[in-house]
Structures are given as structure tokens and as C-alpha cells.
Amino acid sequence: MSWKFLMPVFVLVSCAGDATETTIDTNENEVAVTSAEVLTPVDFNNEVSFMQDGILSQIDALFQSDSSNIDVNFENTIFEIDLNIESLNAMKIPAGGDSLKVAMLEFMNFYKIELNGEFQTIIPLLKKPEWTKAEEKQVQDYDLKFANEEKVMFDKVISEQEKFAKANRIELQEL
């Protein structure tokens, strides 16, 4: 069941300074200083790009699954999606990165909703050694629908990535 086409993933190539945000928590006589690094525009985009690349590879592996590995690949994919969402929510992003972060969160949530939704009807078919003509059509129809919806989400991330790069005067290059 191979339908995946590889979409380009972009990485910003440039150098920029970094910033830190420091918080001081006072609790009676104790003073704890914690420092959370605000990502540079380059680092932020690179993190997003590596997430894109990783999840696209994971989705590709999932869609190439068969009865021997579909369950493990499904769990691994959901785990990576959840990890990416958690990482995105925890990131201290640079100024102007909100739209890119939101687009990437929407991309990850698309996968999470889709895989826990309609994809559940495809899993039993992937476990079968052979498909009927009707099952083959069901898988092909699902693949096409999924790929079209995925492309819309992916294009939105790329668009936000390009706007972010332009605003920060950074050159994008394909991986």
C-alpha cells in the first residue's frame, strides 16, 4: 500500500544569537534560579523541520505496515506525535514564530485525529494477507483522501516556514 510521496523539508541555514529567559523563584530562604533558553529563529525552524522529517518518515513506515508490524508502528507513530506536540508546547519560541508553531501543532493534531479516527478502519485491512476488490478500493480511496488532507496541512506549515524565514532574513534549503 504505497502512496507516500516525499515532501521537501526545509532547514534554515544561518547563525543567530540566542537569548535566555531567567526566572527567580523565592520560597522563604531558598532562591532557585532557572533558565529556559529562547530558541533562535534558526534553531526553532530546524526543530520544526526535524519534526516534519521524523513524522513523515514515521507515517510512511506506518502506511507500509503489514500484519507483523502494524500495531507497533501505530503505537510508535502516536508516541512520536504526542512527543512532538509536547515539545512544541514547551518550546520558548522566538518572536514571530507563533504562526509557525500553530501550523505545526495543527499538522501534528491532524495526524493524531486521523490515525485515531478513520485510519482505525484501515488497520484490520493491513493485517489481512489479501484484499478483496472492495477492500483494495477502500484502502486506495482512504490513501487518496489522507494524502490530499495531509498535503493541505503540510503546505500550510511550509508557507508559515517561508514567511518566518523571510521575516528573519534567513535562507531555506531543502534537506
For residue 112, give the nearest of 45, 62, 175 by alpha carbon: 62
Per-residue pLDDT of 85-109, as tens digits, reads 999 999 999 999 999 999 999 999 9
Give per-residue burial for 11-22: e unless 16+ CB within 10 Å, then b: bbeeebeeeeee
pTM for the whole thing? 0.79
Domain map (residue ranges) of the chain: 10-174
Per-residue pLDDT of 23-51, as tens digits, reads 334 344 443 333 357 889 999 988 999 99
Distance CA 147, CA 42 (A): 29
pLDDT at 5: 37
Per-residue pLDDT of 108-153, as tens digits, reads 999 999 999 999 999 999 999 999 999 999 999 999 999 999 999 9
Residue 69 has pLDDT above 90, yes or no: yes
* Neighbouring C-beta atoms of residue 24, cutoff 10 Å: 8
